[in-house]
Structure 1
Amino acid sequence: MDKEFTVDPEGLHQAVELMSRDFSSAEGFSLPIELPQVGMGSTVALNSLAPSILGGAARLGEATSFAHMDPPTPWITWAITLWNASLNQNLLHPATAPVARQMEKRVVAWLAPFFGMNGGHMTPGSTVANLTALWSARECAGVTQVIASEGAHLSIAKAAHILGLKYLSVPIDANGSMDAMQLPTNLSKSALVLTAGATSTGAIDPFVLAGRAAWTHVDAAWAGPLRLSKHTHLLAGIESADSVAISAHKWLFQPKESALVLFKDTEKAHAAVSFGGAYLATPNVGVLGSHGATATVLLATLLAWGHQGVAQRIEHCMNLARSLSDFVASDERLELYAEPQTGIVVWRPKVENSFDQMQQQLPVGSTSTTSIAGGKWFRNVAANPSADIDLLIATIQGVLAERA
C-alpha cells in the first residue's frame, strides 16, 4: 500500500504544531520555476511551505482585523475540513457521499425556515447561489430581465449576462438602499433582486417590494445570518421572496467556499435546474457537478455552537460596529456615511486631503476603502468577533491628533 494515502499521525501532528508557530518574520519559501523532477517528500514540503502559507497569510482573527467580510474560522471547522480532505466525498452521487448528502439536507432543513424557505442546496459561494436562483427564476417564472440596485453585488449583473437576461440597475437612496420610486411599473417579466447587506455599505433594500415581481430573489450573502439573531427584524419581509442566497463563509464563520441557495418552492426550483445522466443514480441539481462535503463543516459548527452560539457572535459583531459608528458620529472631524444597518461602518475624515495619509497610518487589515458616488470612504466590517474596537478607535484618535 502507498503510505502517502494512509494516516500519518506524526506528520499530521507536525502540521498542527506548525500552526502554533510565529512565522510573521519569516522570509518564506522560494519556489522552483519548473516542476521538480524528484519530490522532496511530504514532511520536508510541509516544513518548507509553512513560512509562506502560515506566515504570509492575512490574519483574519487578529485584534486589528476589521476591514473585510472574511471572518476567522472556529477550530472545529479546521478538523472537519481535514476529515473531508482525507475522504474526498463527492456529493454528485449517493454512492460516493452517502452520509455527507444527508448532512447537507439536514443543514438546509435547519436553516431554511429562518428565511421562510422550504429547502435548497449548498454552493461554493453566493456568486453561484445568485446564479442558481436567477436560473431558476428564468425557468420557473419566465423572466426576461433582472432588476437590482446600484449597490447590488457584481455577481447579479454577471448572472444576468450568463443567463442571457437584460439587466437594469436602479439608483440607491441616501442610505445606500434601493430607491423604490425608481422601479419600473411593470415587473411581470422581471426578477427583482433585493440586497440584504450591500457590499460597500451594508445597506438593506426595502423588503416591502418582495413579491411584486414575477420572481423576487434576496442576495443575503452578508446579512442573512441576522435572521438567527435578535436583529431578525431588520430582514422582516424576506419570507416573501422566492429565493435567498446566504454566504456561510461570512457571518456563519465557515471556511471558503460555503454558501446556500434557498427556495420557497424547492421541488419546482430544483426540477427546473436538474439534469440527469446515464452514469448518475439521481439527477444533478444546480450549477455544480462534482462537489465536496462542505455541509459537514457547517453542520459541525451549528452542533457545537447551537442557535444561541451563532446569535451571540453575530450580535457581538453588531455591537462592535455600533461602538465604532457612535465614535465616528460623535467626532466633529469625521463624517459618517449613514447609520450602519448590518455591521458595516462607512466613514471618512471631513478634511478630504487627509484621507490618503490617514489610510497609511491605520493598522494593516483594520480598514478597507470603497468608492461611493465618486468619493472615497473608509469601510470597516464587523466580521471578526475577536476584534479590539477600542484599539481601533484609539488609533484613529491618535491619527487625528497628529493632524491637529
Structure 2
Amino acid sequence: MDDESFQPTHRDLMAGIQPLVEKTTNSTDEWCFENLPEFGIGERRTIETLAPIVFNGAAHLGAAHAFAHMDPPTPWITWITTLWNASLNQNLLHPDVSPKAAMFERHVIKWLAPFYNMSGGHMTPGSTISNLTALWVARDTARIDRIVTSMDSHLSIQKAANILGLKLLKLKTNLKGEIDINEIPRDLSKSALVLTAGTTASGAIDDLKIKKEAAWLHIDAAWAGPLRLSDNFTNILDGIENADSVSISGHKWFFQPKESGLILFKDVLTANKTISATSGYLTTENVGILGSHGAIALPLMATLIAWGKTGLIERLERSMKLSIQLWQRLNEYSELIVFNEPTTGVILWRLNTHNQTKELFSLLPTGSASFIEYKNQFWIRNVAANPSMDIEFLWKNIDLALIRFKK
C-alpha cells in the first residue's frame, strides 16, 4: 500500500521550504490545538497552520542585532542535510541502516581531534552528555571519587557528579572569572580536575596550563573550543593539548543546529573500552551513553566541506572582532562598568548605579543582549555567536537606550 505521507511530491516539499526562506508569514499564528486532534488535517494544511506559529514568534539568531546568547545562526547547508537526515532516519546503533553515517562521524572526528592533541572520540547531542561521558571514563579508568572545578563551571558538571556518585568540590574564581589556582587542593590523586574554556557567564578561560597532578584532566571547551583552529586565537587555548578529554558543543561556535557535540579523548581506545556495551541484537559494540542516535555528523561535515577551515575561521574571527568593537565602544561611557576584555567574545556591562541596569536592559531590542546576575551584580551580557551582527545597528540602539542615563 502506498502511503503519501511517506512520499512527498515536489510541491509538498516546496511548501515546507518556503517558510525557511521567508522566515515570516501573513497567516495567523494563533495556537488552536489544545487537545490531541481526533482526525488529521493533512500535511499541507498542517504546514500552513504551523509555519506562522513557528516562524513569526521565533528569535532570529542571524538578525542584525542578535548578540545575546551562545546560540548561533545556522548555515543553510545544515538545513538541507538535517532534512536529509529526517528523511532517512538512520541509526548508528545498527551499521546496516547507517552505512555512510558512521563514516561521516569518523571523518569529522579525524579532522578535528588533532587540533586538541586527542586521538579520537565520538559525537554527542551536546556538551552536557560529552562532560558526563568524559567523567564516566575518568571514574572507571582513573578511579576518581571527586570532581574539582570552579564555581563558574557549567551546571552539567554538577549533574555529572550526581549521576556518577562523585563528590564535587567547587572552587572560587578570581576577578577575571577564572578558577583561582591557589584554591586547588594539593592532592588530586583521586580527583578529576575540570577546567573551563569559555565559561557561560563571562566567557573566561581557566588557566589550562595549570601544573597539577590530577588523576584526570578534563577541559570543557563547549564554547571556546573552535577558536583552537584559528592561528590568531589558538594560543588562548594553550594547555588543552595536555587534557585527558575535551568536550565541545557543535551547536555553538561550529554553527550547527541543535543537538550537536563532541567528546574527544587522549587515549580513545581505553576510553571506548570503558564506555562500550553489547547485546545479542547488536552486530557491533555500542560506544557512549546513547543507544539509538542519528547521523548528527552530516550537517557538521557538510559545513566544514562547504566552508573549509578558512571559512570557519573567518566567521569565528569576524565574531570576535565584533565583540572587541562593542567592548571598545562601551568603554567610552563613563556611566558604564565593563567587565574584562572579551577573551572569547562574551561581554558583561552595567551601569554604575546597580539598580538601574535592569531598566536599561528593558530598553534594548529583544535578542540583542541577555540579563544575568554574576558576582552579586546584575549585568547586561552580549555574546558573539552571530558573525552577521551589524555593529552600527546594534550600537545605535544601545546608544539610544543610554541617553536617559547620561550625566
Corresponding position: 1:99 with 2:100: yes
* Normalised TM-score (structure 2): 0.97
3-state secondary structure, aligned to 1:207:
coil
Q: Name 1:258's counterpart in structure 2.
A: 260
Give the C-alpha shift of residue 3 in structure 1: 1.7
Instruction: Show the 5 A alignment for 1:1-400.
Output: 1-21=2-22, 23=24, 27-209=28-210, 212-229=213-230, 230-400=232-402
Distance in 2 (alpha carbons) for counterparts of 1:155 and 1:22: 33
Which deviates further from its counterpart, 73-82 or 349-358?
A: 349-358
CA contact (8 A) 2:358 2:378 kept: no
TM-score, normalized by length of structure 1? 0.98
1:27 to 1:13, Cα distance in 2 relative to 1, 3 A: closer
Residue 24 of structure 1 deviates from its aligned partner by 6.9
Work out the CA distance in 2 between the residues paired with 1:19 and 1:9. Answer: 16
Whether the 8 Å contact between 2:122 and 2:264 is mirrored in structure 1 is yes
- Displacement of 1:93 in angstroms is 1.3
Shift of 1:112: 0.3
Shift of 1:252: 0.4
How far 1:329 moved relative to its partner? 1.8
Q: Secondary structure at the match of 2:381?
A: strand
Aligned equivalents of 1:268, 1:281: Cα separation in 2 = 21
**Mapped contact 2:371–2:381 kept (Cα < 8 A):** yes
Between the aligned partners of 2:211 and 2:258, the Cα distance in structure 1 is: 29
- Could you tell me whether the CA contact under 8 Å between 1:211 and 1:241 is conserved in 2? no
Query: Match of 2:379, SS?
Result: strand
176 and 329 in structure 1: CA distance in 2 versus 1, 3 angstrom threshold:
same
Question: Structure 2 CA distance, aligned partners of 1:26 and 1:246?
Answer: 39
Greater mean alpha carbon deviation, residues 255-264 or residues 385-394: 385-394
Gaps of 5+ in 1: none
Structure 2: gaps spanning 5 or more residues:
none
Give the conservation status (yes or no) of the 8 Å contact 1:94–1:101. yes
Cα deviation 1:34-70 (Å, max 9, x = unaligned) = 2111110000101110000111211111001000000
Seen in structure 2, the aligned counterparts of structure 1 residues 75 and 211 have a Cα distance that, compared at 3 Å, is farther
Task: Letter of the 1:271 partner, please give it.
Answer: K
Q: Deviations over 1:169-218 (max 9, x none)?
A: 01000000000000011000000000000000000001112662000000
Query: RMSD of the alignment, in Å?
Result: 1.2
Q: Is the 8 A contact 1:210 1:240 kept in 2?
A: no
Identity of aligned pairs, percent?
A: 49
Which amino acid in the other structure matches residue 118 of structure 1?
A: S
Contact 1:26 1:55 in 2 (8 A): no
- Give the Cα separation in 1 of the matches to 2:8 and 2:26: 32
Q: Which amino acid aligns with 2:184?
A: L
**What is the SS of the residue equivalent to 2:22?**
coil
Aligned-partner residue type, residue 300 of structure 1: A
- SS class of match (2:70): coil
2:24 counterpart letter in structure 1? F
Separation in 2 of the partners of 1:362 and 1:63?
13
Rounded Cα–Cα distance in structure 1 between residues aligned with 2:155 and 2:211:
21
Q: How far apart are 1:352 and its partner, in Å?
A: 2.1
